[in-house]
Every structure is written in structure tokens, then in C-alpha cells.
Amino acid sequence: MSFPVPEITDVNRPYWDGLAAGELRYQHCKCCGNNWLPAREHCPQCLSPDREWRASSGKGTILSWVVYRHAYAPHLADRLPYDVTAVELDEGARLLTNIVNGDEGRKLSVGARVALCIENEEGVSLPRFKLTDPK
């Protein structure tokens, strides 16, 4: 298995275009006000298709995380050990990400504040984060 390039569709293109342009976008429901990720055609709360993309402040909070010590695909071997962290943006949308200054997970904690730190890998701009107040 090689690097898993995302499948770009009409629905999620603004998300990846946004990252390439330096911002993290989430979807906002113009009917009920819900904010969410990943990209969908309908609001999962009220099912309205009336939605728009908004730019996040890039600030968020850690919900939980894991640290891989085993590479489940060959391209991941060079990254070991690496974290995958669940983050809730201040606007409410959530995503899985990596924390660039987490010291292999040792500095991570639930509730820790993080800020967007876009990194390029294999030509794709990825929404990574950094701890804003590392202990």
C-alpha cells in the first residue's frame, strides 16, 4: 500500500483546496446552524442540503489520541512513532489529525489547546496541529 491520496469529489474539493490555500474549512448548515466535518451533501442534523464552507479559526481542543509503534502500511514506517489525535475545532467540527510537537504523545492531554499548522506531504496539504502551550 502506498500513500493514501484522498479521493477528491465535488463535495470535498473545497476542503482540500482550502488547505492548499492555507486555511481549514468546515461545513456550516444555513438551515440549523450545525457545523461539521467530514464533507457531506446534507447536514447530518437537519438533513438540509443548504450548506456553505467556512474558514475555521484553526484553534481547537484535543479529545483523545493514539500513538502508533507499528506501521500498518509500508509508507508509514518512516513516521514511527506517530500520533493520530482527535481534535474538536472551536467552531464545533471535528477531525483526526497529527500533533507536530507532541513528543511522541508524551505532551498530549485531553483538553489541551492546539492550533492549525498545515504541512505538505506527497504534494497534499494536510491539516496538522501544534500544541499552543506545550507543558
Q: Residue 124 interacts with other proteins (CB under 8 A)?
A: yes
In this complex, which beta carbon is closest to other proteins, that of residue 67 or of residue 117?
Answer: 67
Q: Could you count the other beta carbons within 10 Å of the beta carbon of residue 35?
A: 19
Q: Tell me how far CA of residue 54 lies from CA of 35, 74, 129, 133, in angstroms.
A: 9, 35, 18, 26
Distance between CA atoms of residues 86 and 99, nearest Å: 10
Query: Total residues contacting other proteins (rule CB under 8 A)?
Result: 34
Per-residue binding string, other proteins, 87-116, x by CB under 8 A, is: -------xxxxx------x---xx------
**By CB under 8 A, residue 72 contacts other proteins:** yes
Q: Are 94 and 87 in contact (CB under 8 A)?
A: yes
**Which positions lie near other proteins, rule CB under 8 A?**
1, 3-7, 12, 38, 63-70, 72-73, 76, 79, 81-82, 84, 86, 94-98, 105, 109-110, 124, 126
